[in-house]
């Protein structure tokens, strides 16, 4: 699917990113790219609109990629000569022949080239929960519903209309939350409501317009102070210097338990995960 001409035409026929209260013409693309990279399963949004469609398209594209990569991983494991060894032998010994099979496996697969088998041991189900203050019968909310239908992503979208954000309104399966995106207001309250439910191993929280209004920027400074003693908050602030308002964003990441895994330095673990994948 991706961000094709039909997607842009549909999105902009329902919402203009250039109106004074929006300004998401750049950050919508950024959200799409970051979600494509990080592959969250649960995304929580406060304030729906133009960028909502980009979040949904990113999740839908991730779902399709995981499906194709899973098939590619299976196919290249068969063709590399590893399948029989991993399927039949419980005692794996890393020797010259096995390393050669691994090199063949590593380089193959096109879209499945270099994928980490561990990621594909678990089902990938992605969903966006979008909190919207306006009620279900409001014209804006109906337009949002129509836009989501037009791009075909109703199955991965829950619009929580007529209410502010709340952890209690989410299903238990939504926790831990992998991504939060606030394009509305009450930044400090949003942080307090969801931070402890954010994935401690790299969960991301994004706030819009933090370089456009001082109180929003001050809210990010306050968040940094709240987590300073814990040392588990990374912050990147991006500014759009050409804009007066609806300007820039802050990207927060929770690193309470985050550690890069460096899977290529653990060949035995890689083989074990690949075996689990083909026997699943």
- The CA distances from residue 124 to 91, 135, 254, in Å, are 30, 31, 21
Domains of the chain: 5-64+125-254 (3.40.50.150), 71-121+266-279 (no CATH)
pLDDT per position as a tens digit, 197-246: 999 999 999 999 999 999 999 999 999 999 999 999 999 999 999 999 99
- The CA distances from residue 25 to 10, 59, 210, 247, in Å, are 14, 19, 16, 10
pTM as predicted: 0.95
**Pairwise CA distance, residues 183 & 22, whole Å:** 9
Rounded average pLDDT over 259-270? 87
Please state, for a pLDDT cut of 70, what percent of the chain lies above it.
Answer: 96
Cis ω on the peptide bond leading into residue 176 (within 30° of 0)? yes
Pairing relation of β-strands 179-182 and 42-46? parallel
The DSSP secondary structure of 45-99, one letter per residue, reads EES-SHHHHHHHHHHHHHHHHHHHHHHHHHHHHHHTTHHHHHHH-SS----HHHH
How is residue 71 written in tokens? 């098939």
The DSSP secondary structure of 220-250, one letter per residue, reads HHHHHHHHTTTT-EEEEEE--TT-SSS--EE
- The CA distances from residue 10 to 139, 149, 159, in Å, are 17, 10, 19
209, 23 Cβ separation under 8 angstroms: yes
pLDDT per position as a tens digit, 19-50: 888 899 999 999 999 999 999 999 999 999 99
Over the chain, what is the mean pLDDT? 93
99 has pLDDT over 80: no
84 has pLDDT over 80: no
């Amino acid at each position: 699917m991706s961000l094709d001409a039909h997607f842009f035409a549909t999105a902009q026929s329902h919402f203009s990113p250039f109106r004074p209260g929006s300004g998401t013409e750049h950050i919508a693309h950024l959200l799409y790219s970051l979600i494509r990279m990080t592959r969250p399963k649960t995304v929580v949004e406060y304030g729906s609109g133009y960028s909502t469609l980009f979040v949904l398209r990113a999740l839908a594209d991730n779902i399709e990629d995981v499906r194709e990569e899973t098939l590619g991983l299976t196919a290249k494991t068969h063709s590399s000569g590893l399948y029989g060894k991993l399927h039949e032998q419980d005692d794996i010994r890393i020797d010259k022949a096995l390393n050669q099979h691994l090199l063949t496996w590593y380089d193959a697969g096109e879209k499945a080239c270099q994928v980490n088998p561990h990621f594909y041991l678990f089902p990938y189900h992605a969903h966006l929960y979008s909190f919207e203050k306006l009620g279900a019968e409001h014209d804006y909310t109906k337009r949002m519903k129509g836009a989501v239908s037009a791009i075909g992503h109703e199955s991965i979208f829950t619009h929580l209309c007529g209410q502010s954000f709340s952890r209690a309104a989410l299903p238990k399966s939504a926790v831990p939350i992998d991504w939060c995106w606030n394009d509305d207001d009450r930044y400090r309250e949003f942080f307090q409501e969801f931070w402890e439910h954010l994935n401690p191993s790299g969960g991301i929280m994004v706030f819009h317009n933090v370089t456009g209004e001082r109180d929003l920027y001050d809210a990010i400074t306050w968040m940094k102070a709240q987590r300073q003693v814990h040392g588990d908050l990374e912050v990147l602030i991006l500014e759009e210097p050409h804009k007066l308002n609806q300007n820039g964003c802050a990207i927060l990441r929770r690193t309470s338990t985050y550690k890069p895994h460096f899977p290529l330095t653990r060949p035995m673990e890689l083989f074990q995960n690949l075996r689990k994948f083909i026997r699943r």
